[in-house]
Structure formats: structure tokens, C-alpha cells
Structure 1
């Protein structure tokens, strides 16, 4: 399966934005497997960040994880204040405490403008962005989280396998 649509300016990206190697993760903030992949990906970016453009797309499995969508909304709201990755990381680093009150605590910790943050969470545009990410996952063949794509192709493996792939390429 290949990635649809291709990575664009509307995506959240970090690392080397001009890199030839583009890794896309479809993730759910409450998914334990995504939580386990997070430190591995963090390490990967520390080591290979200059060679990778890393993209995160929302894939909240709301039926299983009641806080997946609120967390995605919190990250998107933080994005409007320029702190998407800070919120993304804070959620994964504190995944076991996840609930709506805790998301607000994180927003305060990140020094976000709270009235603005609360207003933005209600913004239908953010719901549209999450739904668009989710839809793109469905058409790209994502059936669980985390799911990875490397240069537009579905990667059949987890975060550890990505590290192995990059180590092999580096040698």
C-alpha cells in the first residue's frame, strides 16, 4: 500500500524537512504500542534526525481509546501556538495519566495561552484535520497503530525495525 495523500505542508514534520528519507507515523496518543514506539523514535531522531523528515498523522482509535481524540485535539490546538511537538512528546511521556484535565495541565506546563487553547480545542477546523489524517490512513491501508510509511510505502515493521533499517543504510 502507498501513502495517500503525499506529505505536504499541512503535515506536522520535524527533523530535516528537505531530507530524501521521509517517515510517516500514523499514531494514536492513547495506544500502548505507540507509547512503546515513542522512545525508540525519539532515539532514532536523535541519531538520524539530520537525514530524516519525520511526519506524524493522527489516527485516533476512538472506540478503544476514549482519550485518543481529545489528545489529538490538544496537540492540534498546541500546534496553533507553535508547540505541536512539545505537546505530542508530553502526551506520550505521560500516557498513563491521560484524561481531559491532564491535557489542560500539560497546556499550562507548556505555557500555552489557556483561554486560546480552550477555544481552539472547540474549533471545527481541528476536527477536520484529525478526520482528514484518519481518512488518509484508511485509504493508505492503515489498520492499526502505530503504522509507518517510508518514502510513501507502507513499512511492515515497528519502530525497532526502522532503527535497524537506518543502521543498515548508514553502514
Structure 2
């Protein structure tokens, strides 16, 4: 698959391998490529939560850790996937965004404990980098769709390029 996008279209279709909130048969599908250490991603996370309280949408989160500037982003993405393996992706996802300044190993273990993961399994997944390939696949898919920075949003497959404001994002969703 050597196709790449000019950055305006989502080339990797949503699949059962994605982390999905809501159902894919809703009118609006929002795909976010994000980095848990990126402060703008944290702001957009809060915006999306606000929008989800106002309307039904299908939300898909894909990892795009920018490890050259965020040293703990890869590890946080792997922790989220380790939680996903135990059906607790969204709980870990929310904790990571709520605690963006505290993503070292000790904190990740704390969060795993807080959401009641099987700690032995979590530690094995983390030390063995069991989910690194999944994160790499998300990154590659993002690159194919023209993502080079975070956050990157796609509304029904089309790249959102307006301001990071709730009202603007809502207007784009209803456009």
C-alpha cells in the first residue's frame, strides 16, 4: 500500500482494530490522530468530550506519538493499547490525557492499577513492547493520510483544518 494522501482525505478505513467510541453507522465519524504528551491534543480531547455530550458521533482514536519531541508519548500509546487488550482503552486514554505531565513508568503503572488492569499482564505487555507494532501501524496510516503533526482530525474522512475551537469544530461537523 504505497498510496499517500495530499492530507485532505483519510486513506485508512475504520476497522475492528481501531479504538472506537459509538457506532460506525452514525451520521458523523470523527477520527483523531493524537499524541498523549501533546498539549494541543489534550485540548482537543476535552473539546471532543464536550461535543460527545451534545451529539452522537462515532469517535476513533489513532496513535501518532511524536517521539522526537515527546519522549514519553510512545510508552503512553503502548500503555493505552495494553489497557485495550484488557477492554479498558477508553479509561486509560482519558487518564493519560488528564495527566499529560505524568507519563513515566511509575505513573503508567498507577493508572493501570487505578482502572484495575491485570498488573502482571500490563507489565509483561509494556516490557515486551507487545503493542509497539499496533502503534507503528497507526503512525503509518496517519502518514499515508497526510498526517505529520498532532492533533489531526478527520470528519467523515475529510481533514479538519480550522481553528481548535469547539464552535468551529461543531460547525464543520454539521457542514
Report if TM-score (shorter chain) is over 0.5.
yes
Query: Which of 94, 103, 110 is equivalent to 2:99?
Result: 94
Q: Give the C-alpha shift of residue 124 in structure 1.
A: 4.8
Change (3 A) 1:101 1:147: same
| Larger proportion of helix | 1
Q: 2:105 & 2:111 partners in 1: Cα distance?
A: 10
Structure 1 match to 2:76: 71
Query: Which of 1, 16, 32 is equivalent to 1:25?
Result: 32
**Partner of 2:141: helix, strand, or coil?**
helix
Structure 1 match to 2:10: 3
For normalisation by structure 1, the TM-score amounts to 0.91
Deviation per CA, 1:37-83, whole angstroms, max 9, x where unpaired?
Answer: 111111111111x2x11000000000100110000000000001100
What is the aligned residue count?
166
For normalisation by structure 2, the TM-score amounts to 0.89
Q: CA RMSD in A?
A: 1.5
Does the 8 Å CA contact 2:21/2:58 hold for their aligned counterparts? yes
Structure 2 match to 1:153: 158
Q: Give the C-alpha shift of residue 16 in structure 1.
A: 3.1
Confirm or deny that 1:16 pairs with 2:23: yes
Q: Give the C-alpha shift of residue 163 in structure 1.
A: 2.4
Q: Quick check: 155-164 or 142-151, which moved more?
A: 155-164
Does the 8 Å CA contact 1:78/1:84 hold for their aligned counterparts? yes
Q: 1:159 & 1:148 partners in 2: Cα distance?
A: 13
Does the 8 Å CA contact 1:59/1:145 hold for their aligned counterparts? yes
5+ long unaligned stretches in structure 2: 1-7
Deviation per CA, 1:111-132, whole angstroms, max 9, x where unpaired?
Answer: 1110011112244551111000
**Partner of 1:95: helix, strand, or coil?**
coil
Change (3 A) 1:4 1:98: same
Q: Give the C-alpha shift of residue 7 in structure 1.
A: 0.9
Does the 8 Å CA contact 2:78/2:129 hold for their aligned counterparts? no
Q: 2:78 & 2:129 partners in 1: Cα distance?
A: 10
Structure 2 match to 1:143: 148
Query: Which of 44, 54, 68 is equivalent to 1:47?
Result: 54
